[in-house]
Each structure stands twice: as C-alpha cells, then as structure tokens.
Amino acid sequence: MEILSPLEQRVIGCLIEKQVSTPENYPLTLKALLNACNQKSNRDPVLSLSEAELQVAIDSLIARRLVNNCADFNARTAKYQHRFCNTEFGDLKFNEPELAIITELLLRGPQTPGELRSRTARLHSFADVASVETSLHSLIEKGPYVVKLAKLPGKRDARYGHLFSDTDYEQFADTGNSEDNIKLKAQVAELQSEIARLQAHIRQLEE
C-alpha cells in the first residue's frame, strides 16, 4: 500500500476531489492545484504552500507513478492528474462512497462518521450515518485502508483515519470496551499463571 507524506496526501486528495466535484476543470494546472491545496475550506490543516514546495511533492508523486502530466508534449502549461486509484495503472479500486471517504480523510485527517457524511456531500450523498459506517467497514475489510480510532475524551463517536501515511495509529486505535479489556487481561494472566504452575509440576515429576 502506498505511503504518502502529509503534502503528498494533500495533493492526491485535491486531485481526486476536483476530478469528482469539478470534472470540467480537471486535470489541474499547477496554479489550480496550488489553489486547491491552499484552500481555506474543507482542509485541515490550512496550508500556505509556494509553487516550488508544491512542485517538489508533484515530482515525487510523478516519480512514483501516482501522478502524471497529461498535457501534450508541446503544451506550455502542465496539467496534472492522479493515478492513485481507479485507473488502469494500479489495483487500488474504490466505489463512489468509499472514494468520497478516502478523499475526505486525505484532506482533513481523522473524522467521525457524522463529520464524514456532512463533508463528503459534494462527492457522494450518503443517506445516513449508518451508510457511512457501512462504507468504512468495507474499507477496513478490503485493505484495511482505514482504521477505527479510540474516542476522544468527552466525545460520543469514534473517529476513523486512513492508512496511506506513516502515522502511528496504534496508540489511537479503538481497542473496544476498557472494562472488557481489563477482564480479558485478568483471564490471560490467570491462564499464564496456571501454565507456569503446570510446567513446574511437570519438571518435578521428570526429576
């Protein structure tokens, strides 16, 4: 699975977003992609990239064949499109609701199903939060491409994060009910103690 730097995530997310939401303006010129990456709405964090900084990320993605310049050879202006998913060049395939979720996670980081439902409206219209959760579970089973994170203190709903980065989500992963975990750990400790006792008894018999 592709691992993207934070800036590469922003570039890929923007290219997918514009491909779906404004196909008439896609592929994107460098200036259009820069505006999309520095957009103040639907982005977290908000960035203020220079063209040079953006070009470094684009060149890296081109080298990895995740982005290409599809302008004619003699064209004066480059036009960029992604090859991240749903193309003939790779095996990564998402349906429309899954793609909307992945795009939103690339653009804004971990979010709850409710947040995803409201923020993906321009990419896909989810009927309800349950349908978002269905697609999230599909992404977990297929990849996993996303992971369920533990609830933040004082929050009712858990968030989900994508796995196309080197972010260590282990410390944030949802491990279920803490009371159940305590009981399970106690049972494991009891079994380990019993195994140790039996091994000691066997050694005594062998001697």
What pLDDT score does 46 carry?
95
What is the pTM (predicted TM-score) of this model? 0.80
3-class state of residue 94 by DSSP: coil
- What are the DSSP E strand ranges found in 43-132? 67-69, 80-82
Q: Which residue has the higher pLDDT, 30 or 188?
A: 30
Is 179:167 a contact under the CB 8 Å cutoff? no
Instruction: Find the length of the chain.
Output: 207
Average pLDDT over residues 29-54: 96
Longest dimension (CA), the chain: 86
Helices within the chain (DSSP H only) = 6-21, 30-37, 51-63, 96-108, 113-119, 129-142, 178-206
Mean pLDDT lowest among 63-67, 76-80, 108-112, 178-182: 178-182
What pLDDT score does 72 carry?
82
Statement: residue 159 has pLDDT above 90: yes
Mean pLDDT lowest among 84-88, 165-169, 185-189: 185-189
- In tens, the pLDDT along 109-143 reads 999 999 999 999 999 999 999 999 999 999 999 98
Measured CA to CA in angstroms, residue 146 lies from 12, 68, 120, 125, 156 at distances of: 16, 26, 16, 20, 20
What pLDDT score does 127 carry?
96
- With CA atoms as reference, report the closest residue to 149 among 122, 121, 176: 176
What pLDDT score does 197 carry?
62
User: What share of the chain in percent tops pLDDT 90?
Assistant: 70
Cα atoms found within 13 Å of the Cα of residue 96, Cβ hemisphere only = 9
183 pLDDT tier (thresholds 50, 70, 90): very low
Is 76:91 a contact under the CB 8 Å cutoff? no
Specify the residue for token string 């684009």.
Answer: 58
